[in-house]
Chain A
Amino acid sequence: MTVALELREVAKTFIMHLQDGIQLPCIAGVSFTVHAGQCTVLTGPSGTGKSTILKMVFGSYRCDRGQIVVQHGGQRTDVARASPRQILGLRRDTIGYVSQFLRAVPRVPALDVVAEPLVAKGVGREEARELAGHLLGRLNIAPRLWALPPATFSGGEQQRVNIARSFLPDLPILLLDEPTASLDAANAADVIELLAERKRRGTTIVAIVHDPDVRDHIADTVIDVTRFAAAA
């Protein structure tokens, strides 16, 4: 099987300069491999560094040590050493990330929020909007909401907009930080079905999921992050 993502001896320490420079070792020695089309779920109590690992893979946190190798259009990129332009390229073509909360842009309608990553890939705006509407419909966001900015939506609605935005460009690697946490059972089931569909098409997934049912449903591998705890 092809390796889609590999972490080798990754470590992260936060230094808080405003608190007398105290050092907060977060994780160390993080090594694991995710094969293409497989789903790896990260588990462990809050504060053990699960989200930190996802953010380092996505490039929004810096990586102090180690390598994060991503397969990218036949090329291998080490996110830990990649330039900002390379990381932006990865985000456009390879890695999607569903954060815990949607960072809503004022005034932009939900439909455009979702369509935007496709437009960035060069798809025409009207076509991107149509595809965005289709996906929002599947996630039970009523068409009457599409023209509204999501800032006023409920938590569950915002999360589904967030999921639609990251899923729409059909990227080969998806990072999910509690994608179903704020959803009711029916909506969570829809998201799980969408995930399963993507997996069948070969999408590689790394997810943080607390709900044991959801986890059992999607995980091929489970990694307990507490084993990467950094010595304080």
Chain B
Amino acid sequence: MITRCLRIAAMTDEEVPLAIAEGLSKWYGRQLGCRDVSFCLYEGEVIAVVGESGSGKSTLLRLLCAELAPSAGKVHFRTRDGVTRDLALLGEAERRFLVRTDWGFVHQDATLGLRMAVSAGANVGDRLMASGWRHYGRIRGTAADWLERVEIDRARIDESPQTYSGGMRQRLQIARSLVSQPRLVLMDEPTGGLDVSVQARLLDLIRGLVADLRLSVVIVTHDLAVARLLSHRIMVMKDGQVIESGLTDQVLDDPREPYTQLLVSSILPP
């Protein structure tokens, strides 16, 4: 898989993928998390992973950022120096550096992605400091700019996210992860549990940022409308395996597998 992706890139003079998953499997004891998942993710590309709860979507996400070690298979990531590296061979310090700078995470539960005890500004500033920023005024200014960018009033920079609504916390989490200009962003049900109007605003925001910043994103969602709106490609997971993948509109408009047809036909029209 990796050799194929790299070979195609060399042959066609195309860019090398940003991330490559190669035969990823994860067993929790005898319980299967996911099995034999392979794909290439290119810069500026959004892949949606869809499927029911327990289908292995979140396991896959945690494997991609080496938060979990795979039982089999590899993840390769092209670091900023242009070298494609096997995540399993990175030292813990190198991995932590990637987590704090080059990778962004948006969790469904904002309290997992935020530090609830410190101010909104500090939440956004964290990753700038991890990237080596030291000047307090610049950090604060950039944090305020980012709050504005995610439609949060700059005046609320010193408040704790405890005082924020669910939608605001989610936007703050996005500001916090994107401020360091990560190249890979992993999102786990970012709009789950929000009111639809709040959801629409958030989706619109994510859509704009992904396009403007040319982010590469893997987004886990069980909402096919979210996948349609945000992604270029879809992978459908069932029982830990990718059963169908392809161009987003192709998979949703012309689903081939029985399970995908069931998912698509189960959407209620508003």
Distance between B167 CB and nearest chain A CB, rounded to angstroms: 13
**B42 and A60 contact, CB distance less than 8 A:** no
**A84 and B204 contact, CB distance less than 8 A:** no
**A119 and B211 contact, CB distance less than 8 A:** yes
B229: A residues at CB distance < 8 A: 105
**B253 and A55 contact, CB distance less than 8 A:** yes
Supposing A18-B261, A59-B247, A85-B42 touch, asked if A107 and B253 sit within 8 A by C-beta, the answer is no
- State whether the Cβ of B169 lies closer than 8 Å to any Cβ in chain A: no
How many residues belonging to A are interface residues under a CB distance threshold of 8 Å?
19
B250: A residues at CB distance < 8 A: 59-62, 84
- State whether the Cβ of B256 lies closer than 8 Å to any Cβ in chain A: yes
A105: B residues at CB distance < 8 A: 204, 207, 229
Supposing A59-B250, A62-B256 touch, asked if A18 and B200 sit within 8 A by C-beta, the answer is no
CB-CB contacts below 8 Å: A58-78 with B: 59-62
**A84 and B262 contact, CB distance less than 8 A:** no
> Nearest CB to that of B12 among chain A residues?
A86
Distance between A56 CB and nearest chain B CB, rounded to angstroms: 9
> Nearest CB to that of B47 among chain A residues?
A84
CB-CB contacts below 8 Å: A2-19 with B: 15-18
- State whether the Cβ of A120 lies closer than 8 Å to any Cβ in chain B: yes
The docked-state distance in angstroms from the alpha carbon of A59 to that of B248 is 10
A17: B residues at CB distance < 8 A: 257-258, 261-262
> Nearest CB to that of B40 among chain A residues?
A85
**B254 and A88 contact, CB distance less than 8 A:** no
- State whether the Cβ of B149 lies closer than 8 Å to any Cβ in chain A: no
What sequence of 0s and 1s flags, for each residue 161-184 of chain A, a beta carbon within 8 Å of any chain B beta carbon?
A: 000000000000000000000000
**A60 and B254 contact, CB distance less than 8 A:** yes
What sequence of 0s and 1s flags, for each residue 101-145 of chain A, a beta carbon within 8 Å of any chain B beta carbon?
A: 000011110000000000110000000000000000000000000
Supposing A106-B200, A106-B203, A107-B200 touch, asked if A18 and B253 sit within 8 A by C-beta, the answer is no
B247: A residues at CB distance < 8 A: 59-60, 84, 87-88
A120: B residues at CB distance < 8 A: 211
> Nearest CB to that of A119 among chain B residues?
B211
- State whether the Cβ of B246 lies closer than 8 Å to any Cβ in chain A: yes
B254: A residues at CB distance < 8 A: 55, 60-62
Partner of B253, one of A16, A60, A88: A60
Distance between B103 CB and nearest chain A CB, rounded to angstroms: 22
> Nearest CB to that of A56 among chain B residues?
B254
The docked-state distance in angstroms from the alpha carbon of A223 to that of B257 is 32
> Nearest CB to that of A112 among chain B residues?
B208
- State whether the Cβ of B126 lies closer than 8 Å to any Cβ in chain A: no
A107: B residues at CB distance < 8 A: 200-201, 204
A108: B residues at CB distance < 8 A: 204
- State whether the Cβ of B156 lies closer than 8 Å to any Cβ in chain A: no
Distance between A101 CB and nearest chain B CB, rounded to angstroms: 13
**Listed A/B pairs (13) with beta-carbon separation below 8 Å:** A18-B261, A55-B253, A55-B254, A60-B249, A62-B246, A84-B232, A84-B247, A84-B250, A85-B42, A105-B204, A107-B200, A108-B204, A119-B211
Q: Which 5 A-B pairs have the closest CB atoms?
A: A17-B258, A106-B200, A60-B249, A84-B247, A61-B254
Interface positions of B (Cβ within 8 A of A): 42, 45, 200-201, 203-204, 207, 211, 229, 232-233, 246-247, 249-250, 253-254, 256-258, 261-262, 265
